[in-house]
A and B are shown apart, each in its own frame.
Chain A
């Protein structure tokens, strides 16, 4: 077996395979060439090679087949290979589309990085109340202490000044109108609890029932089962952080109340408030 296969001209095995199929393991390779040639269209004479009486006609056909058969085969295999690799490349490229692009693709999202780059850049610490132009705020100066964002579910409004600091750390902040039906609040809660870099709180005076904030991004939706909520979280949680994925969400302010707590008493005294 090993003697005949290595140098054997292509022609030989083709007949071996058509004439007799169950020929050990090695001829499988030869079988392939046979199949390929037959598939190329000009294999007809070979298939009928049992009837050798037709030999006078075959030479003409075969000589044509030699040039065009392989070309067609080669082209077909080439096109197929390129198509497969192209498709793989395309899907790989799609999958690794940068998050900024995917964020822009979420319908209804407001991208303040584009609208107001200056706001999104700034991240100064500031004691006391900070005035924000966007409600709820998505960026800007903020309190030195961040709101705890370890999947915290706050049942009362919290201070913007702490929450914005959490956004800077990469958290997504889900806010909802206090009159949002309880079952929808529960749906939001299930997305948040136990996951760091996420927190939620009711928010007075929202123009839509639910508003999602990440650093520099906002999305307002009507219902808790809106698919874009998951898209927003998936795309922007941590990614939107300007401080990278290792910024802290724990050891922040855990108390509620919309008045920011000054550094010095907020960490130690927060359990009283």
Chain B
């Protein structure tokens, strides 16, 4: 099948090589090869420069949505934790409070650094929780799962003594349960190694916290 064409084409080649244009062609071939190598290297370089930019999470990605929303979610836990450290009566409540506050504030820093390194704004254009399937349904008055309402926050601020401790523990348990749900959301949606690693650490921490918060609540007879 192929044989006839080879013979058909072969004479053309020799015909070309015979006259002067053949040399020009060969010379051109060398130049073209050199040019191709240079262009190839440049393209490779440009591709290498661009690939991280083009493959990093975009403005409406689950990773960016998680980083933004979890920052908001965490910041309320930071406030509650600081309040517990300041206002709690039970030593363990105060201890857990400051631990959660500093830990989650640190995680806010990590998530904000992601956004900056991805070239994204701390504020998104999408509605809250839009990155999670059915996420929008979980939002009430702008509050993500487990978050306390402004009324609950001011009730906590006015509470004192054991009543404060019990209220704090209940609110933080609910907050953590909502947080774990959101972490599961990003673990499902993302395969970014850094994001999933940090999210998994967050989940482990919050699950340990939950056990301790619940035990403290039982101890205080809440």
Contact = CB atoms under 8 A, between A and B. Distances in A.
Interface stretch (A13-21, A130-138, A160-168, A174-182): A13-21
Nearest to A81: B43
B1 to A, nearest CB: 7
Contacts of B119: 95-96
B2 A245 contact: no
A67 interface: yes
A63 interface: yes
Given A11-B9, A96-B119, A250-B82, A195 B108 contact: no
B50 A250 contact: no
Contact of A196 (B11, B72, B83): B72
A194 interface: yes
Interface in A244-261: 245-246, 248-251, 254
Contacts of B157: 254, 271
B144 A194 contact: yes
Nearest to B6: A12
Contacts of B83: 251
Interface of B is mostly: helix
Given A99-B121, A245-B122, A16 B2 contact: yes
Contacts of A153: 150
B128 interface: yes
Interface stretch (B73-81, B165-173, B185-193, B205-213): B73-81
Nearest to A55: B8
A53 to B, nearest CB: 12
Interface stretch (B88-96, B135-143, B174-182, B194-202): B135-143
Interface in B45-88: 46-47, 50, 53-54, 59, 71-72, 75-76, 78-79, 82-83
B154 interface: yes
Interface string A117-130: 00000000000000
Contact of A16 (B1, B76, B141, B143): B1
Interface residues of B, number: 55
A88 B12 contact: no
A110 interface: no
Nearest to A198: B123
A88 B79 CA distance: 42
B215 interface: no
Given A89-B50, A234-B121, A245-B122, A67 B28 contact: yes
A1 to B, nearest CB: 13
A76 interface: no
A85 B112 contact: no
B123 A238 contact: yes
Best-surrounded residue of B71, B142, B153 (most CB of chain A within 10 A)? B142
Nearest to B125: A234
Best-surrounded residue of B46, B72, B122 (most CB of chain A within 10 A)? B122
Contact of A194 (B8, B122, B139): B139
A15 B128 contact: no
Contact of A237 (B12, B32, B123): B123
Contacts of A200: none
Contacts of A88: 50, 54
Interface in B82-132: 82-83, 105, 108-109, 112, 116, 119, 121-125, 128
A150 interface: yes
A234 B16 contact: no
B83 to A, nearest CB: 7
Contacts of A254: 154, 157
30 contacts: A11-B5, A12-B2, A12-B6, A15-B5, A49-B5, A55-B8, A58-B12, A59-B11, A59-B12, A67-B25, A85-B47, A96-B53, A150-B75, A150-B79, A192-B142, A193-B141, A193-B150, A194-B142, A194-B143, A195-B142, A196-B75, A197-B122, A234-B121, A234-B123, A235-B123, A239-B123, A245-B116, A248-B78, A250-B82, A251-B83
* 6 interchain residue pairs of minimum CB distance: A194-B142, A250-B79, A238-B122, A193-B142, A245-B112, A96-B119
Interface of B: 1-2, 5-6, 8-9, 11-12, 15-16, 21, 24-25, 28, 32, 36, 39, 43, 46-47, 50, 53-54, 59, 71-72, 75-76, 78-79, 82-83, 105, 108-109, 112, 116, 119, 121-125, 128, 139, 141-144, 147, 150, 153-154, 157-158
